[in-house]
């Protein structure tokens, strides 16, 4: 088959069953939660820990994705995208250089970033920013 007809392989993380990172999980918001502050149940310590990580020099990115705000009732720091086929620990880096540790979750369609991760990265909740995704 000619090279121009070959599909470029999508790089995905190895399918390793990984539990969500305890430091990145949080309780579900209360039923009456309506604002970003009440829907985001992560603690200051969790937000500080999530944003303390930097991108390891030797790690190749999985790719770049445009993210929308995910389900605000699902707590924690996570990114759902087609870049992974199984849950793995990861990190997202914004165009401004801000990094946030997240749990990378498999997803179909457009990539979705959690409310906690959006806020920790300093992103506008109605924005559609592009982030670079790395395995941890």
Whether residue 85 has pLDDT greater than 70: yes
DSSP annotation string for the chain = --GGGSPPPPP-B-----PPPGGG--PPPPTT--SHHHH----HHHHHHHHS----TTPPP-EEEEEEE--TTS-SSEEEETTBSS-EEEEEEETTS-EEEEEEEE-SSSEEE-HHHHHHTT--TT---EEEEEE-
Distance CA 92, CA 78 (A): 9
Second-level CATH architecture of 50-136: Beta Barrel (2.40)
N-to-C CA span, the chain: 36
Per-residue confidence (pLDDT) for residue 11, from 0 to 100:
45
Per-residue confidence (pLDDT) for residue 18, from 0 to 100:
47
For the stretch 24-54, pLDDT in tens is: 667 677 778 778 878 887 888 888 888 887 7
Segments making up each domain of the chain, as ranges: 50-136
Q: How confident is the model at residue 21 (pLDDT cuts 50, 70, 90)?
A: low
């Amino acid at each position: 088959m000619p090279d121009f007809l070959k599909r470029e392989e999508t790089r995905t993380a190895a399918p390793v069953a990984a539990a969500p990172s305890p430091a990145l999980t949080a309780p579900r918001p209360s039923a009456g939660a309506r604002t970003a502050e009440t829907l985001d149940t992560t603690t200051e310590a969790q937000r500080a820990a999530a944003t303390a990580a930097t991108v390891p020099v030797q790690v190749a990115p999985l790719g770049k994705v445009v993210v929308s705000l995910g389900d605000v009732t699902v707590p924690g720091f996570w990114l759902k995208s087609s870049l992974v086929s199984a849950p793995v620990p990861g990190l997202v880096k914004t165009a401004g250089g801000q990094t946030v540790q997240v749990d990378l979750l498999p997803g179909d369609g457009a990539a979705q970033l959690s409310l906690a991760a959006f806020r920790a990265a300093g992103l506008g909740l109605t924005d559609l920013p592009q982030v670079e995704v790395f395995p941890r």
